Each structure stands twice: as C-alpha cells, then as structure tokens.
C-alpha cells in the first residue's frame, strides 16, 4: 500500500501557483519524498525530491514540514501543459522500487 495520502483532484487557473499537498505521516528518518507527474499516455516524469530541507529546481519547489509528516509541491506559474496526475512517494534512497498511489489529478484551466 502507498504510504502517502493525496487529494484525488485539484483545479488551478493558468498563471497561478499550484500547491499540491501530500501527507506522509509515517515517513521514517531515511526516507526521501519524491514527486513525479504523468501526462496522459506518457511515462512518469521526475520533478523533484528532498529529505528534510526545502528544495527548488527549474520545474518546482518542494516544501517539507519540520516534522516531515507532510509536504507541498509548488508549481509557481501553472500552465495548461502542467495538467497531469501528480504522485508523491516516500522512499529510501537506495530502495529498489517506487510505490505509487493514485496521485492527484491537477487540471489547469484558462
């Protein structure tokens, strides 16, 4: 079973920030938080990951709470091309497999 909890769907207006929450209350000390997204008919695309510090790259920002029990993925200026299913996964860095849940379906609208 997936170890994270995400809302099934969210909407966001184009140009606005999309804030996608994830609950991982049972995360252990050596587990990272990974975010992937999947656009229809494509494979999952890696977005970002972090252990306990906030992280930012060219795609998104990852904010992890101090107790590490939840995190938020931020897409600062959402576009229509960001419409996808977003998966939050907690995983040890050297684990063999990613355990996907059903993710959050983000719909970006005009």
Nearer to other proteins, 53 or 94 (CB): 94
Tokens of 64: 């992890």
Q: Work out how close the CB of 33 gets to other proteins at its nearest, in angstroms, rounded to a whole number.
A: 12
Residue 55 within binding range of other proteins, rule CB under 8 A: no
- Residue of 46, 57, 69, 109 that binds other proteins (CB under 8 A): 46
Residue 86 within binding range of other proteins, rule CB under 8 A: no
Compute how many other C-beta atoms are within 10 angstroms of the C-beta atom of residue 89.
23
Nearer to other proteins, 21 or 101 (CB): 101
Residues 46 and 37: beta-carbon distance below 8 Å: no
Q: Work out how close the CB of 87 gets to other proteins at its nearest, in angstroms, rounded to a whole number.
A: 6
Residues 91 and 101: beta-carbon distance below 8 Å: no
Which string of x and - marks every residue 19-38 that binds other proteins (by CB under 8 A)? Answer: -------------x-x-x--
Residue 50 within binding range of other proteins, rule CB under 8 A: no
CA distance 15 to 109: 9
């Amino acid at each position: 079973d997936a170890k994270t909890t995400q809302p099934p769907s969210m909407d966001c207006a184009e140009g606005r920030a999309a804030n996608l929450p994830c609950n991982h209350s049972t995360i252990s000390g050596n587990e990272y938080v990974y975010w992937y997204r999947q656009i229809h008919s494509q494979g999952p695309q890696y977005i970002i990951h972090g252990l306990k510090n906030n992280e930012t790259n060219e795609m998104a920002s990852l904010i992890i709470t101090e107790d590490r029990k939840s995190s938020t993925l931020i897409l600062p200026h959402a576009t229509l091309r960001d419409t996808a299913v977003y998966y939050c996964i907690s995983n040890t860095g050297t684990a063999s497999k990613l355990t996907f849940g059903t993710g959050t379906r983000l719909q970006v609208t005009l």
